Amino acid sequence: NQQSLTMAVDEETGRPVIIIRDQEEKGRITGVQAIKQNIAAAKSVSFILSTSLGPKGADKIIVTPDSEIVISNDGATIMEQMDLEHPIAKLLVDLSKCQDSEIGDGTTGVVVLAGALLDQAESLLDRGIHPIRVADGYDLASQIAVDRVRELSMPMRANCAKDVTPEFKQFLVDAASTALGSKIAQGEKLANVAVDAVLSVADLNRNDADLSLLKVKGKVGGSIEDTSLVDGIVLDKDISHPQMKDVTPDAKLAILTCPFEPPKPKTKYELSISTVEQYRSLAETEQKFFTDMIQRVKDSGANTVICQWGFDDEANSLLMQNDLTAVRWVGGEDIEAVAIATGGRIVSRFEDLTPEKLGTAVEVRQEMYGTTGDHMITIQGKRGYKTVFVRGSNKMVIEEAKRSLHDAMCVVRDLIRAPTLVPGGACAEIAASLRITSVANETDDIEQYALRSFAAALDAIPMALARNSGLQPIEAVAQVKAKQLKELERDPKYKTTLGVDCMARGTNDMAEQRVFETLASKTQQLTLATQVTRMVLKIDDIIGQL
Ligand code: ADP
């Protein structure tokens, strides 16, 4: 059907000739064909993610082009690592990134929903409904869904989070655990760390938390349960000399990117020493360089030196004798973090060191952690930085824990901003699906088809949750639906809490299981997935090679 026929006449014989030309331009696909091809691409991506959804969702191993191995359950991470070529697949990557940056959680769900919406749209196109009608119907359905989800929402307290009651904190931990649930085995402990971390940087008067004050740092060793919240920033280093003080209260930090060593000429040189005197004078000159440098540090008023470079034993013992605490080989990123956390300036020449350029810290402390005798240095700057120090048995576990913590911390921050929860376990999706179906039943124009398809697409979420938990999906979802319908008979606006019992706890009541998600995440998922679907439905021409 992509071929075109043209008639021509052979000039010599006068016979008619039929020329069959392949697609006018190679690589160009138009109309419903184009939409369908795009839908197929989107579906294949969302299918990959659907098995990762929920507390029992599977992880994926992704081998990056430079042979690094990433194990993840987080939608945004999987999508980003997949290195997708197809433009529509890339659109879904952006979708999940967008959910990640705005909300932080729900990145798998949003892609699965978009895939299901497109899957359903495809059958509408097959029945001859125009893509724009489908898109418009979806818009309406999405609005109905958002309204219904809002009805289910549970404001945790009338007047937000001004002071953190144990009850409010428990809600935060519950929501953080739901976000972590599928990703990390020991979710509960990490959820507590995430909540403490966000609360430690929260401004409850403004109902916000500045997550940029939270650093997450990982170190192989110990187990996930050893993850802790540290006051200040953490350097994975030792103090350079065992006889230097372990704790420096009221620290004034010289933050240096210049080495403690005599300047080296840039050209090749040779030094010949033939007498003892010459050697002594050379040693003295060298010594003078060191003493000058240390004097400059002392003169500035510093009692702690953070240096990007190493220094030899000579300089090290001089620093120790001068009662300075020093840390060497502090990498570029860390040194910037020290400067920001302590309000100091990074100094690249000893001559430039002045008292105003020093950083200040309540305390610089070397601590031992774990059982391996490893040290870390904590710098408790005045700016109130905190660090979540993640432990785990290998790098992959730590990286996944860091990503999951990010999700959980975003959830907690969102709840401090707007303390409203909805029940998890796809309770919201099922409720929205039922509401849309009932509206569709009362609609007599063509829109009803799109509404029904949207409702069916929403069911994909509980289905995936059930399937991934080893339940019979159709049966499990039908049961929850029937129960919710019963509630609706009594009250059409019933605040249901029934969802899929993924953890086989014997109840569908998500409030009882304490499985909560944020309202913001759920509504964002609905609107973003609808927007992307709409966008795909409106593309009817693919130009260029795929
Ligand atoms: P996302 O990246 O989209 O957050 P997840 O893999 O974290 O995806 O899965 C989130 C889904 O799992 C949500 O629908 C949430 O309600 C559900 N969920 C999480 N924990 C539970 C649980 N204990 N019981 C039932 N559903 C749960």
3-state SS, residue 164: coil
Cβ of 109 closer than 6 Å to ligand 1, yes or no, is yes
Atom of ligand 1 nearest to the CA of 76: 2
Cβ of 53 closer than 6 Å to ligand 1, yes or no, is yes
Q: Is the predicted pLDDT of residue 522 greater than 80, yes or no?
A: yes
Distances (CA, A) of 382 to 281, 300, 465, 504: 45, 19, 45, 48
pTM for the model stands at 0.81
Q: Is the predicted pLDDT of residue 205 greater than 90, yes or no?
A: no
ipTM, two decimals, is: 0.98
The pLDDT tens digits for 17-28 are 766 665 555 567
User: Which neighbouring-strand residues pair with 61?
Assistant: 71
3-state SS, residue 348: coil
Token output for 223:
């187990």
Among 53, 97, 510, say which to mutate for ligand 1: greatest number of ligand atoms within 8 Å of CB: 53
Question: Which residues participate in catalysis according to the annotation?
Answer: 74, 107-108, 407
Say what the alpha-carbon torsion angle 505, 507, 512, 516 is, to the nearest 10 degrees.
Answer: 80
Reported as type and span, the H/E element at residue 90 is: helix 87-102
What pLDDT sits at residue 497? Answer: 96
What pLDDT sits at residue 428? Answer: 97
The pLDDT tens digits for 98-115 are 998 888 889 999 999 999
User: Ligand 1 centre and the CA of 111: distance in Å?
Assistant: 14
Atom of ligand 1 nearest to the CA of 73: 6
pLDDT tier at 8, thresholds 50, 70, 90: confident
User: Ligand 1 centre and the CA of 56: distance in Å?
Assistant: 9
Q: Which domains does the chain possess? A: 29-155+423-542 (1.10.560.10), 233-383 (3.50.7.10)
pLDDT tier at 433, thresholds 50, 70, 90: very high
Cβ of 423 closer than 6 Å to ligand 1, yes or no, is no
What is 167-194 written as a DSSP string? HHHHHHHHHHHHHHHTT-TTHHHHHHHH
Among 465, 505, 507, say which to mutate for ligand 1: greatest number of ligand atoms within 8 Å of CB: 465
3-state SS, residue 350: helix
What pLDDT sits at residue 1? Answer: 45
3-state SS, residue 392: strand
Mean pLDDT of 180-189: 72
Cβ of 232 closer than 6 Å to ligand 1, yes or no, is no
What pLDDT sits at residue 529? Answer: 96
Average predicted confidence (pLDDT) for the chain: 88
Higher pLDDT, 249 or 262: 249
